Structure 1
Amino acid sequence: MTDHVLRLLRQHAHLAELAAFPFDFDLRRAEHGEPVRLASGGPLRPVAGDDTGGTYFVCADGSVLYADSEGSAGIIGSSVDEALEIVIGLPGWRDHLDLSPSDGPEKILARVTETEDEFREDYGIDEARPELRAALGLSERSPVELIGMLHAALLRTEPDFLLLNAEEGCAYHLLDRHPRPPLWEQVLARGRADLAALRAGDRTVWDATAEDPVRRRLALRATQFDRADGDLELLRHLLHYESAAGLTDELRLAALLVGLRGRAEDLRPVYALRERDFDAACGLSDMPGPDADGAALREWAEELDDSLFGTDPADEPLCTWTELAADQGLTEVARTALIRRLDAIEMDQGLLRHPGAPKKPGKLDPSPLGALAQDFERLGDRVQALRAQRLYTALQDTEWDRVSARLTQARLERETGQLPQAGNTLAALRDILDSPADDSLRHLHRVNLGRFIAEEHYDLTRALADADLPEEARATLAAADEIRGRLSGAAATAVRERAEDVAERVRDQRDLV
């Protein structure tokens, strides 16, 4: 049906003219003006535009995404048919983005009537509308119904249809300002459902939830924000299984929720883990021992609760919810939240300042950017990871941190096919090594960082050779060999096989020339 309507407009000039004027759906304006893409990577086909510089795109499922010229975008219909019903039935639809069914028919009709009266002063919409609807086979719907359709479509924009500037990677703003449920609500939905079933005593759910690592974590998070006196048995059950997974944030959470009851015997799985696992012994070293009294356990649990957990999901760090979203397969939910956070930091680096810290230049904490880069990599989105990493690199203070950050940046540039940029980044890294401004790199060639730098140079050399860039490959190989020559014996030995393989690859390429 979508292609049918577009085909009619393309085949009949009169219909295309009516769509363009007075309804501002112009097939001749399908060029958006800047390269864009969906964050999800789905196809995006421009089909029309308007006289404000906005563009209508058709997505893989037929949904129509409208992007204006000011950096905002949103779904306005589940198909071209639906989008045209809205555009034709509400010629001032862009002025009604704030309306929703909750406003009621009276307010909706008054607003639409006012807008259409203004249109009638300049455009013959009453004559053109029925003709275009009939020719395209579109339904005649009331303004109230159309506002409901538009509202529902707009709310579908995120996460699957988040529009990005293809060159910069930043996201378009939402076209509307309607409230959305918080991220945690969507992520925690499964956990809350499982918690209700656990409390109902469904033993099949008890085992299925406890044995599934993701469901178990979600159920524990649900109990964090919905605590009940009768939860001790189910908490002990979940704690038993979580302790088998080693030290996790959810194990700490389960331990404190059980510890709040003040019974050391309920924490036996944690004590056993602490005995056999070094990380758990360190991470839970402040937990009172198995002979502790109830008051000491409760005091420990309350302090841990206050410092790391709490009862308000809105206070949890973003990474809690994006990691749980990704673990559930809600990749686009996680990606959207992370991109929005990265955009916010890029626009206002003051967000990197610790609360209460003096507002002085240079007093920023870049670690959230490093964490974002890692989160994007876990999602498989190296483009956004590189964007975060470049910002992170620019904010490093010591020469060690600058070198380490540039090393990761160069790897991401290489892995995304930006080989010249990777070469430039490694060149800047070498400049630091040659003339460091502090002594943080004094042991570089005796630790793993030196080895990793050499390995990345060899990896880039191979990539350059594979890309048929022999001169660049030879220059990078020479730099790699020089760095390898500075390494200690063990580090140099560890790199030797890679160095020999890459050198042979470069020689083979030279022989072919």
Structure 2
Amino acid sequence: MTDHALRLLRQDRRLAALAAFPFDFDLDRAAHGHVEPVRLASGGPLEVIAGDDTGGTYFVCGDGSVLYASSEGAAGIIGSSADEALEILIGLPAWGSCTDLSPEDGEEKILARVTEAEDEIREYYGIDEERAELRAALGLPERSPVELVGMLHAALLRTEPDFVLLNDEEHRAYELLDDLPRPPLWEAVLERGRADLALLRDGDAAAGEAVAADPVRRRLALRAAQFDRAEGDLGLLRRLVRAEAGSSMTDELRLAAVLIGLHGDSRDLPLLHEVRETDFDTHCGLSDVPGSEADGAELREWAREMDEAMFGTDPADEPESTWIELALDQGLTGLARVALIRRLDAIEVDQGLLRQPSDPDRLDPSPLGWIAEDFERAGDLAQALRAQRLCVALQDTAWDRAAALLRQAELERRAGELDRAVRSLARVMDALGDGADASVRDWRRINFGLFIAREHYELTGALADADLPEEARALFETAEEIRGVLSEPAARGVRELAEATADRLAAVS
């Protein structure tokens, strides 16, 4: 991380003026900040260091990288340090027209693009003498446009996942500065699984035990085997399916059963039946496995049909949610977060993405609930609430609206938005009081009533802890009223929490 050139600019007004014009890196504009409040999705620090005459802003990130954000909602890394960014800005004054170039485009194409763009600039003002003077004064090397484009290309590709810029009010992501191709999420997710699959195929006993015993590594190895099938895998698949059954019914358990079935060996039927009977969920989830009287051809046909319907051999055909879940499982939180943000942004812009294939006239808001859960797993409650609030807005029955609002209240409480959580719980009760909607008629008699009462008590405790005794007492009264109309089992289920909450409330009254 170097900022020698930046420090020289800050110390020398003549050099700073030259950087501002004609190279559009104006230190004085830093005092104005960006056109709107922004933050990094990763939570990393940002410092404004300069601006340009279009309203764009240059930021230094925590590791020294320089992020440029336009006033039109695009952002990206343009240098691994302030010095590198200045090299690019001075060496490629028309760098904005080069963001789609890569070293693979070749010298001829790169030089033609740069020459054309710089000739257009020269029609209005000079850049050559100014560039030579500024480079010399700042101690920057004289690099060819081809080398500078390579540096810019490498910097832009580092934008995701660590340097994605968000509007700090709406939490939407800025678009990328470039349209460069990037590896799909599944490549990073499968990397560990492919390595473990190779270990299993090598026959390393200790490594095999470690993979089979680790739920995450096991799932990833099975996914790797899905997309890299080999005749010699039957033994390791048998081992993995036994281990995966310990996690009850999962997509990967079904996948393992299918991969085994594709080998068409009827001697595997007892194993599949044993796995099926692990527990109630596996019994239901694998109920369609052929019976003990089936032959190898029938087993293979069952597996082939399941494979075509649910799995396949192309990772690009898997739902993105599969890769997001597996990314979160192995700690690739940044990659998962960016994928979730981009997905949520797309849904906000086009709610038609939620249309049900079987009923195109209806929107299915359930993916928003899953997105909110994944954001919560990633530790991003602000984005989880953004998804959940949209989920609430799209519900069309009182029951679904009440359930979504209850979840929203929980997230608001956990995020410290206590006043909003109180209002959300009030909306829950309003939805349940909708006499025209029969879907909510029996909420008092079932566990939903228990969950509603529990959240009222939890929020009461949070209000008390926040030294808001009046609000806490008011909500506690509502909680007690709800408990009073619940079925006896449900009321018993929250009695201990109610008593503990009363004690907490007494301590602050």
Q: Give your verdict on TM over 0.5.
A: yes
Query: What is the letter of the counterpart of residue 38 of structure 1?
Result: L
Structure 1 window deviating more from structure 2 (269-278 vs 58-67): it is 269-278
Find the counterpart in structure 1 of residue 277 from structure 2.
Answer: 275
Find the counterpart in structure 2 of residue 476 from structure 1.
Answer: 475
Structure 1 window deviating more from structure 2 (128-137 vs 305-314): it is 128-137
Q: How many residues align?
A: 507
Query: What is the letter of the counterpart of residue 29 of structure 2?
Result: R
Find the counterpart in structure 1 of residue 12 from structure 2.
Answer: 12
Distance in 2 between the 1:497 and 1:80 partners?
Answer: 58
Distance in 1 between the 2:201 and 2:483 partners?
Answer: 61
Query: What is the letter of the counterpart of residue 46 of structure 2?
Result: L
Query: What is the letter of the counterpart of residue 384 of structure 2?
Result: A
Find the counterpart in structure 2 of residue 445 from structure 1.
Answer: 444
CA offsets, 1:304-337, max 9 Å, x none? 1122111121111112111111222211111111
Q: What are the equivalent positions in structure 2 for 1:16-415 lying under 5 Å apart?
A: 16-30=16-30, 31-355=33-357, 357-358=359-360, 360=361, 363-415=362-414
Distance in 1 between the 2:500 and 2:413 partners?
Answer: 18
Paired residue secondary structure (1:289): coil
* Pairwise CA distance, 1:484: 1.8
Distance in 1 between the 2:477 and 2:492 partners?
Answer: 17
Query: What is the letter of the counterpart of residue 98 of structure 2?
Result: H
Q: What are the equivalent positions in structure 2 for 1:413-452 lying under 5 Å apart?
A: 413-452=412-451
Distance 1:508 1:217, change over 3 A: closer
Paired residue secondary structure (1:295): helix
Would you say the 8 A contact 2:196–2:211 is kept in 1?
Answer: yes
Would you say the 8 A contact 2:425–2:456 is kept in 1?
Answer: yes
Distance in 2 between the 1:382 and 1:236 partners?
Answer: 40
TM-score by length of structure 2 reads 0.95
Would you say the 8 A contact 1:264–1:291 is kept in 2?
Answer: no
Would you say the 8 A contact 1:399–1:436 is kept in 2?
Answer: no
CA offsets, 1:288-310, max 9 Å, x none? 23342222212221221122111
* Pairwise CA distance, 1:262: 2.1
TM-score by length of structure 1 reads 0.94
Would you say the 8 A contact 1:255–1:267 is kept in 2?
Answer: no
Distance 1:465 1:86, change over 3 A: same
Paired residue secondary structure (1:477): helix
* Pairwise CA distance, 1:145: 0.3
Distance in 2 between the 1:436 and 1:42 partners?
Answer: 49
* Pairwise CA distance, 1:109: 1.1
Consecutive unaligned residues of structure 2, counting only runs of 5 or more, are none
* Pairwise CA distance, 1:384: 1.3
Would you say the 8 A contact 2:398–2:434 is kept in 1?
Answer: no
* Pairwise CA distance, 1:368: 0.9
Would you say the 8 A contact 1:265–1:290 is kept in 2?
Answer: no
Distance 1:356 1:247, change over 3 A: closer
* Pairwise CA distance, 1:114: 1.6
* Pairwise CA distance, 1:352: 0.7
Paired residue secondary structure (2:364): coil
CA offsets, 1:359-417, max 9 Å, x none? x3xx1111111111111122222211111111111111221111111000011111111
Structure 1 window deviating more from structure 2 (38-47 vs 129-138): it is 129-138
Distance in 2 between the 1:232 and 1:434 partners?
Answer: 57
* Pairwise CA distance, 1:474: 2.8
Distance in 2 between the 1:427 and 1:449 partners?
Answer: 15
Would you say the 8 A contact 2:242–2:275 is kept in 1?
Answer: no
Query: What is the letter of the counterpart of residue 294 of structure 1?
Result: G
* Pairwise CA distance, 1:20: 1.1
Structure 1 window deviating more from structure 2 (490-499 vs 397-406): it is 490-499
Distance in 2 between the 1:87 and 1:245 partners?
Answer: 54
* Pairwise CA distance, 1:3: 4.3
Distance in 2 between the 1:329 and 1:343 partners?
Answer: 23
Distance 1:443 1:85, change over 3 A: same
Q: What are the equivalent positions in structure 2 for 1:478-497 lying under 5 Å apart?
A: 478-497=477-496
Alignment of 1:509 onto 2:508? yes
